[in-house]
Amino acid sequence: MIRLVFFFGILGSIILLGALYVAKAETDAAQARLASLQAELAQERARINTLTANIAHLEDPEQLRALARTHLGFEPIQSAQELSLAELAQVRAEAERLAPQAAQANWQASPPAVRGRQ
């Protein structure tokens, strides 16, 4: 009887030792995966910071002004270019008066091949 108890005690200890080994191996694998995910997360955060800095640089008003001047020929509006409300009404009336004439002139000036596709 004592030998049977001793045998089952040893057998239980071996089973528990095996279970402990499996649990430790799974824990080590999970910790390795966690470390790799944390490293990947740190890389992504660094990349986000870099992209945020690039966006801030590209959205900088001075940068946009310089690009608009260089590539589009835009210049800041001068005070002489501003219109009052009365002047704006006159410009609109003039544009409405000339719009049908300009459209007709553009249509007549276009080549016949282009006119047929419109």
Average pLDDT per run of 10 along the chain, which is 118 residues long?
92 96 96 97 97 93 90 84 82 81 61 49
**What's the pLDDT score for residue 102?**
62
Backbone angles phi, psi at 82, to 5 degrees: -80, 145
Buried b / exposed e over 93-108, threshold 16 CB at 10 Å, is: eeeeeeeeeeeeeeee
- Give the pLDDT of residue 112: 54
Does residue 26 contact residue 18 with C-beta atoms inside 8 Å?
no
The whole-number pLDDT of residue 55 equals 94
With 0.85 as the threshold, say if the pTM is over it. Answer: no
CA distances from 72 to 45, 56, 69, 100 (A): 35, 21, 6, 29
